[in-house]
Amino acid sequence: MQIFQTLTNEYIHKSNQLSISERLEFLEEYRLLLPESFFIEYKQKCLEKWSQTRNHSGSDPE
């Protein structure tokens, strides 16, 4: 799943004026709008990349 948003200059300007608390609140609300599958797919991709880097490093820390 890919999500795209066109960022207007007005949107960017308003975003820059938000406090840290307002930004965190927005992110929390935004997270609730995304389907769970988005996070599951992202987590799976990260784990696959991590696994590939471990396999190519040639050393096992265990």
Residue 1 resides in a domain: no
Cα separation, 8 vs 6, in Å, equals 6
Task: Return the pLDDT at 58.
Answer: 59
Residue 60 resides in a domain: no
Cα separation, 26 vs 33, in Å, equals 11
Residue 41's CB: how many other CB atoms inside 10 A? Answer: 13
The pairs formed by 2-10 with CB atoms below 8 angstroms and a separation of 24 or more are 3/34, 3/38
Cα separation, 48 vs 62, in Å, equals 19
Q: Could you give the number of structural domains in the chain?
A: 1
> What is the tens place of the pLDDT at every residue in 12-48?
888 899 999 998 888 888 777 778 888 889 999 999 9
Task: Return the pLDDT at 36.
Answer: 81
Task: Return the pLDDT at 15.
Answer: 85
Residue 28 resides in a domain: yes
Residue 20 resides in a domain: yes
